[in-house]
Chains A and B, each alone.
Chain A
Amino acid sequence: MMLFRVWLALLLTVTACRAQAVEPPVFDATQLRLIRSFGPWPPAFHPDTGNPLSGRPSAVLLGAALFGEPRLSKDGGIACQSCHQPQQGWSDGQARSRGLERLDRNAPGLLDSRLQRWFGWDGASDSLWAAAIRPILDPREMGGSVVATATLLRGDPVLACLAGHAADGAQLAQNDEELLVLAARALAAFQETLVSPRTAFDDFRDAVLAGDRDAMARYPASAQRGLALFTGRGQCATCHSGPAFSNGEFHDTGLPFFITDADGVRRVDPGRHRGIARLKENPFNRLGRYNADPGSAAVIPVRHVVQQHRNWGEFKVPTLRSLLFTAPYMHDGSKPDLESVVRHYSELDEDRLHSDGEAILRPLRLDRQEIDDLLAFLGSLSASLDAPAADYAARRADARRLCP
């Protein structure tokens, strides 16, 4: 009820003094409901019951050690951390990542990824731990192997010691594949600890819920107008919904279908269409024998997801938290900065978009003020990355202390 009585100020419509408009907007009931749904933050921790190591502190230490471990790769030179760098929002600053070869896609940041349902831009993995296996084995990324990973975990005294602690008294994995799964599960347990810090937006959202006008007033008017656009005319929140600003599903935002290789060859990235096929054939998916909790609700979407024609060219809705650190943007890294992304939504090519797909996006034709407002709002979803980076360093130090 409180929400509906919140009255912020009068929305200035188009006026001459628009550029210096200082009045924050009024949110309607639907917008207030959306604003509430963008929290609370930080979210409560729910372990992934499909991963027996989820939430286990000793496994987090092994995962942190493995995350920086280049020996998982074929040439001993590439670690997860090479493409997911703590100071870059756990991405790599490249349009398309480079492992042993140049990849087709942009490395997403890893903060808050435990809130996702699907992993990868095409959602080809259904758990954080299955998503850790792909880069290790993919010949273009780290080019590792099941045998090499198992040999490393058995043979390296430090990693073997950490793995023993992670297994926590239970017998260590038997065969090579089980050891790979153990490593992946520990990597997932570590990545589950990567959470974005609270932001100016979170303070505003909580102030709105509490009806605290003084606290609300501390959130810049421009960001408030951006939020009004985001939850209103812009329709951004239909896809960027929930505390991580993602519905966890897949959409076509009208980017070009083609990616171009260095030699000028153009190829199509089928996106979710192929992602579903890859998910279904992955032996490490939640329907496979390694899922520790086949009865959990997390299995239902995997069982029922179906490939549809419209999945062609669809990509996962990314989180918008800690966005300022993860440029360039989009699955192909084609947008160098946030203004380019906002302009993309402003000037969408409708012919490219609405051929037979869903009818949500329309060119927004934003004016300069609206673009700035949206940028102010998007900027308010980021805060310093120092805490997760320091936690990572601390965990690696803990791991060294536990198993010198």
Chain B
Amino acid sequence: MRRALFLAATLLVLPVLPAAACEQIPIAARVIEGPRFKLVVLSDPMPIPLNAPFAFDIRLCDARMAELPRLVRVDAWMPAHRHGMNYAPSLTKLDWGHYRAEGLLLHMPGEWEFAFDFIALEREEQLSFRFDAQ
């Protein structure tokens, strides 16, 4: 019992690098190359549906552990129409550099831009990609 607890404790303390998941990136994933890390985004369901809720599985890959940024916000808007979603996604940290965003919904066909906001060492940065919802 004591040993099991100890083991669990070390598992919690040791930084588990997301390396493994980053080596086998599914073909369906969207990969965005940032200046200091790579963002790998997978939608659930696949592909991103129009006018139905979906989630994002989000991984930060190839970051130096010491400066692994924290994902603080996921959002989407339609640049041509100047409006965002009617829903606020929730963000859950699953692991180091591994998040799940729930409650996204694109209510119009056309071009959407997804934005991912990070904070690393008190510095904010944003990565984004565009998607044509049909």
Tell whether, in the assembled complex, residue A359 and residue B109 are in contact, meaning their CB atoms are under 8 Å apart: no
Pairwise interchain contact B107-A247, C-beta atoms closer than 8 A: yes
Bound-complex Cα distance A304 to B76 (A): 14
- For this complex, into which size category does the number of interface residues on chain A fall? 20 to 34
- A258 and B87 CA atoms in complex are apart in Å by 27
Closest to B132 in A: A30
* Chain B nearest Cβ from A118, distance in angstroms: 10
Q: Closest approach, in angstroms, between the C-beta of A231 and any C-beta of chain B?
A: 10
Give the complex CA separation of A77 and B64 in angstroms. 73
Indicate if A224 sits at the interface (CB-CB under 8 A).
no
Q: Would you list which residues of chain A between 303 and 340 have a CB under 8 Å from chain B?
A: 303-306, 308, 310
Max chain A Cβ within 10 angstroms of own Cβ: one of B80, B90, B107: B107
Residue of A nearest to B82 (CB): A359
Please determine whether B87 and A301 come into contact, CB atoms closer than 8 angstroms. yes
Interface size of B by Cβ–Cβ distance < 8 Å?
A: 23
Question: Are A304 and B87 interface neighbours, CB within 8 A?
Answer: yes
Q: Mark B66-98, 1 if CB is under 8 A from A, else 0.
A: 000000000000101111101111100000000
B86 and A306 contact, CB distance less than 8 A: yes
B51 on the A face (CB < 8 A):
yes
Residue A358 CB within 8 A of the other chain: yes
Name the residue of chain B whose CB is nearest to the CB of A272: B86
Q: Give every chain A residue within 8 A of B89 (Cβ-Cβ).
A: 304
CA distance A306 to B52 in the complex (A): 16
Question: Among residues 213 to 258 in chain A, which have CB atoms less than 8 Å away from a CB atom of chain B?
Answer: 237-239, 241-242, 247-250
Within 8 Å by CB of A249, from B78, B81, B86, B134, lies B86
Determine whether the beta carbon of A239 is less than 8 Å from that of B88: no
**Which residue of B is nearest A249, CB measured?**
B107
Report if A34 contacts B (CB, 8 A).
yes
* Chain A residue contacts of B110, Cβ below 8 A: 238
- Kindly state whether residue B108 has any CB partner on chain A within 8 Å: yes
- A300 part of interface (Cβ distance < 8 Å): yes
**Residues of the A chain whose Cβ atoms lie less than 8 Å from the Cβ of B90:** 304
- Tell me, in angstroms, the Cα distance from A7 to B89 when the chains sit together: 42
Q: Does B42 contact A (CB under 8 A)?
A: no
Is B51 in contact with A300, judged by CB distance below 8 angstroms?
no
B91-134: CB near A (< 8 Å → 1, else 0) gives 00000000000110101111000000000000000000000001
Task: Name the B residues within 8 Å of A249 (CB-CB).
Answer: 86, 107-108
Contacts A247-B107, A359-B81; A241 near B51 (Cβ below 8 A): yes
B52 touching A304 by the CB < 8 A rule? no
Report the bound CA distance from A303 to B102 in whole Å. Answer: 10
Quick check: is B34 within 8 A (CB to CB) of the other chain? no
Given contacts A238-B110, A297-B53, contact A360 B86 (CB under 8 A): no
B residues near A34, Cβ cutoff 8 Å: 109
* Distance A199 CA – B41 CA, assembled complex (angstroms): 42
Complex-state Cα separation, A34 to B110, whole angstroms = 11
Residue of A with least CB distance to B83: A358
In the assembled complex, the Cα of A238 lies from the Cα of B107 at a distance in Å of: 9
Q: How far is the CA of A43 from the CA of B131 in the complex (A)?
A: 27
CA distance A33 to B134 in the complex (A): 8
Contacts of A310 in B (CB 8 A): 83
- B: which residues have CB within 8 A of A? 50-53, 78, 80-84, 86-90, 102-103, 105, 107-110, 134
19 pairs from A and B in contact (CB 8 Å cutoff): A34-B109, A238-B109, A241-B109, A247-B51, A248-B51, A297-B52, A300-B103, A301-B87, A301-B103, A303-B103, A304-B103, A305-B87, A306-B87, A306-B88, A308-B86, A358-B83, A359-B82, A359-B83, A360-B83
Interface residue ranges, A against B (CB under 8 Å):
33-34, 37, 237-239, 241-242, 247-250, 297, 300-301, 303-306, 308, 310, 357-360
Apart from the given pairs A241-B50, A300-B102, 13 other A-B contacts in the complex at a CB distance below 8 Å: A37-B109, A238-B110, A241-B51, A242-B51, A248-B107, A249-B107, A304-B53, A304-B89, A304-B102, A304-B103, A308-B84, A358-B81, A359-B82
